[in-house]
Amino acid sequence: MTTARASIPRYDAANANRFGPCMIEHRTAGTGLSQLGTYFMIYDTDGHSEPWTLHYEETVYVIEGQVRLITVENDTDRELTGDPGDLIVLPKGTTVRYGAAVGTRLLLSISPVDWRERVDGLT
């Protein structure tokens, strides 16, 4: 078994992708972490992402700005608004639309990071 080395991962444009109204960067990609993934999300436009159902557990920490997540619970939309310093917890199976004020910066952590490998039929 290979052990991951302690590191300070830096920004890598190869790990950044557009996700609806924001850019999301998988900061811990390539670090050897097998369970935990950490991402930075920065909003540069208004609006919300398309609905996404989580195949993992997720936390969202608001670094700057204001996040406005919409979750679907029993066919009803529920808005969760978070300000700097707030932590939002999204259990596995939550359906969410990510949105925030322009300039908002978030730190997301998910587990397990290798969820795609664990879910048959998803790419």
Q: How many domains does the chain have?
A: 1
Alpha carbon 27 to chain centroid distance?
11
Residue 50 lies in a domain: yes
Measured over the CA atoms of residue 64, residue 108, residue 59 and residue 7, the dihedral's sign is negative
* pLDDT greater than 50 at residue 123: no
> What's the pTM?
0.89
pLDDT, tens only, 27-83: 999 999 989 999 999 999 999 999 999 999 999 999 999 999 999 988 899 999 999
Residue 5 lies in a domain: no
Beta-bridge partner residues of 77: 72
117 confidence band (pLDDT: 50, 70, 90): confident
Query: DSSP letters of 20-37?
Result: TTEEEEETTTTS--SS-E
Q: Which residue type does 97 have?
A: R
Spatial contact of 66 and 81, defined as CB atoms under 8 Å apart: yes
Residue 3 lies in a domain: no
CATH code, domain with 50: 2.60.120.10
What's residue 34's pLDDT? 87
What's residue 116's pLDDT? 78
Spatial contact of 31 and 88, defined as CB atoms under 8 Å apart: no
